[in-house]
Amino acid sequence: MSENGNGRKLDDPETVKWILRVFYVICAVLFVMDFIIHRHVSHEMESIPGFYAIYGFVGCVVLVVVARWMRVLLMRDEDYYEDKPKNKDINQDYNQNYNQDALKDRNEPDPVKEAHHVDR
């Protein structure tokens, strides 16, 4: 989070520091507002001071922690679904067996090698 914010000088860490300071102050003010503004609540949980602030913060941390854990389980290579080589192999297997005799006669290049060549 070293370059968040807006404007052209965002690469300057000093600017970022200031943006974050302002942001922290706003967060603090919002929390204090809970004690100043009387909220008409429709649910008892809402009357807990700072309920929305705490819920938002904790919710997002839980979200990210769970998502990180999901990565362990669910993350695969970018080309996970592009299983071309495998399919080619099966086809080649058939083609090879099927065409071998014919190829021997005609002296054509080996389809396996050719397919690999095309693939790469």
CB 53 within 8 A of CB 30: yes
- Burial status of residue 53 (CB atoms within 10 A of its CB: 0-12, 13-18, 19 or more): middle
CB 111 within 8 A of CB 92: yes
What string marks each residue from 22 to 61 as x (binds another protein by CB under 8 A) or -?
A: -xx-xx--xx-xx--x-xxxxx-xx---x-xxxxxxxxxx
Report d(CA 2, CA 23) in Å as an integer: 14
Q: Which of 12, 13, 21, 67 binds another protein (CB under 8 A)?
A: 67
**Residue 87 binding another protein, by CB under 8 A:** yes
Q: How far is the CB of 113 from another protein (least distance, A)?
A: 18
Nearest 5°: phi and psi at 36? -95, -50
Interacting residue ranges for another protein, rule: CB under 8 A: 1, 3-6, 8, 10-11, 20, 23-24, 26-27, 30-31, 33-34, 37, 39-43, 45-46, 50, 52-61, 63-68, 70-71, 73-83, 86-87, 90-91, 93-95, 97-98
